């Protein structure tokens, strides 16, 4: 058993006074000596936290004891070191940025694609009447994806709604969506249904759960994760590297962020080019005055911004004021 665990989870469940909840939840996580990144929105939680098994168990028990989050599905990884350095817990408009904020239009608690457990997904994915759809961004599916999956040219999930028309040719197929942990599929599958796709499914628990329960069979490459591990192994049955070094073309699944913070490009780079390019994606970036020191990992920690409790409710107070006083 390893010394630490990393928990990946999300939960669509309305949170009243979500800004205050974020401030309080940060203090709770810090009291457990957890590190990680949690997004809190009026629509729910999206988090990855890391700490000792005891701290992680206390955290999971606390969320499950809250009726709002009682159905939260935690994906648990055993790790040698915590997967973050700092603890972030921030309020944002959505728990995953999609631009689909109106619950009257898209509400994962009301209608989404049918959830498939990993074994069900594995059994269905190769049928002739099925299309497997990756709803993640370019840098994610370029380093790893299911065999024969349909991928979209998007830099961020908020671009997904713009790509619906490109999928029109698959309207008569069963659409099996997947993402890292399942959170993007909740809104992606709901949007597909709204746009007239009749037979829509989603991989419950995403790639991470599929790797744990189905051995990751037919997932080529590695899975991008949003912590200092950057990518993780998923396929323990028939693994295959599918990505290449941006600089020399050598086969590699090693993904980093460019050392130039104004670029910060996600890209694959072999270890040799990493050292020769000082963690940069191009010669131009190697000469940038703000270039960060390269330590061989290509992972750079953002300093956490403290929650300003004095301004937590300022926006809501303004919204509550009579229009004549504004």
Structure tokens given for 145: 């994806």
User: Tokens standing for 115?
Assistant: 């959830």
Bridge partners of 130? 174
- Spatial CB neighbours of 21, under 8 Å, sequence gap ≥ 6: 15, 40, 91
The answer to whether 106 and 100 have CB atoms below 8 angstroms apart is yes
User: Do the bridges between strand 200-203 and strand 114-116 make them parallel or antiparallel, or are there none, so unpaired?
Assistant: parallel
Q: Do residues 302 and 84 touch, judged by C-beta distance below 8 A?
A: no
Chain-centre distance for alpha carbon 53: 22
**Whether 179 is catalytic:** yes
Catalytic residue among 29, 89, 179, 223: 179
- Strand-pairing partners, residue 78, are 5
List, as one string, the DSSP characters of 159-223. Answer: GGGGGGGGGGGGTTSEEEEE-SSSHHHHHHHHHHHHTT--SEEEETTHHHHHHHHHTTTTEEE-E
Positions marked active-site: 179
């Amino acid at each position: 058993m390893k010394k630490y665990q990393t928990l990946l989870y999300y939960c669509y469940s309305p949170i009243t006074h979500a800004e205050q909840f974020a401030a309080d939840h940060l203090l709770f996580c810090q009291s457990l000596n957890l590190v990680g990144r949690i997004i809190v929105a009026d629509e729910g939680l999206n988090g990855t936290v890391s700490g000792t098994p005891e701290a992680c168990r206390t955290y999971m028990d606390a969320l499950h004891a809250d009726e709002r989050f009682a159905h939260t599905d935690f994906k648990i990884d055993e790790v040698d070191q915590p997967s973050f350095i700092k603890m972030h817990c921030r309020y944002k408009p959505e728990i995953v940025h999609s631009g689909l904020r109106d619950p009257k239009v898209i509400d994962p608690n009301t209608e989404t694609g049918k959830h498939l457990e990993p074994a069900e997904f594995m059994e269905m994915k190769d049928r002739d009447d099925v299309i497997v759809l990756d709803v993640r961004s370019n840098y994610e599916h370029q380093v790893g994806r299911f065999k024969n999956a349909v991928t979209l040219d998007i830099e961020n999930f908020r671009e997904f709604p713009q790509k619906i028309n490109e999928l029109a040719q698959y309207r008569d197929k069963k659409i099996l969506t997947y993402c890292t942990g399942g959170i993007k599929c909740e809104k992606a599958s709901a949007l597909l249904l709204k746009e007239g796709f009749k037979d829509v499914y989603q991989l419950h628990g995403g790639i991470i759960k599929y790797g744990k329960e189905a051995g990751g069979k037919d997932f080529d490459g590695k899975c991008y994760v949003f912590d200092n591990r950057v990518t993780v192994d998923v396929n323990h049955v028939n693994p295959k590297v599918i990505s290449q070094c941006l600089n020399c073309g050598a086969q590699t699944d090693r993904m980093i962020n460019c050392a130039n913070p104004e670029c910060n490009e996600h890209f694959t780079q072999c270890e040799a080019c990493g050292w020769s390019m000082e963690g940069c994606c191009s010669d131009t970036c190697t000469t940038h005055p703000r270039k960060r020191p390269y330590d061989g990992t290509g992972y750079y920690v953002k300093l956490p911004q403290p929650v300003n409790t004095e301004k937590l409710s300022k926006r809501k107070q303004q919204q509550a004021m009579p229009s004549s006083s504004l």
